[in-house]
Every structure is written in C-alpha cells, then in structure tokens.
Amino acid sequence: MTDLLSPAEVIPHRPPFLFLDEVTHLDAGERATGRWTLTGDEDFFVGHFPGRPTLPGVLMVEAVAQLGAYVVLSDPRFATKLPLFGGVDSARFRRQAGPGDTLELSIELGRMSSRAGKGSGQVTVDGKVACQADLLFVLVDA
C-alpha cells in the first residue's frame, strides 16, 4: 500500500461539510477505512442538543458516503466523475456519538457501472457499531 492522499486531495467536500479526517486503508474502487474525530466545536452540536451534544445520525451516513466517494474517485475509471447520493437503504443507528468520539468508518463497494454504484458502510465508536447503511451512488460529470 502506498501513502494515502488526504481526503481534501481526492473528494470535493470542504469544511464545514468535510466529515472525513483521514483514510487509513484503501483498495481503490473496492473498499476503504477511515476516521472522523469529533472535537465538540462542530456547529451542529450547538443545537443538537443543548446540554447533550449528539451527532445527528444522518451525518454518520454522510461520513460513510464521503469515504465511499474517496474509494470511487481513487479508481482511475471514475476519477473525472462526481459521485452523488442516489439513495440510502437499510440505515440503522445503534449508538450515539458525541464530542471527543472517534468514528471508525468503513465501506465496501458493490457493483459499479459508468453511471452508478452501490456500497455498504459501517461506523463504529469504541469498537461498537453506531451506524450501518447501504448507499447508492450516482455518477455525474465533474
């Protein structure tokens, strides 16, 4: 395995909507693992919820999708594309996450075509599953 590029070098997301700190393993076009550490300074914690800051579950799904975009865009066949959400299936939220937690992200892509693809992702916190979801990516010209 070679040195991995930072997320900002591969995917188009930028703060405050970049929810992927690092990619820790990559099999281009197939699977990856990565991390997102919650500092507690994220704006959404102010209102979700006052006195009990909790990461919105949909942002866990978004973090997995960003890792999926990294996997897709690391494949030379799709490097000039922009992967967009096409759908989310079977999303389950099993554990809350909050300030100071590190989300361990993983995704494995399924079938990919020139126009779309699927992936299955998971988020763990402290070794326990926090979120699972199946994602559909639609590929458009960047």
- Catalytic positions are 48
Phi-psi region of 44 (alpha: psi -120 to 50; beta: other; left: phi over 0): alpha
Helix (H, G, I), strand (E, B) or coil at 104: strand
Q: How many other CB atoms sit within 10 Å of the CB of residue 63?
A: 25
Cα(59)–Cα(113) distance, integer angstroms:
26
Tell me the longest C-alpha to C-alpha distance in the chain.
47
Residue located via tokens 């300074």? 41
Residue 70: its H or E element: helix 57-73
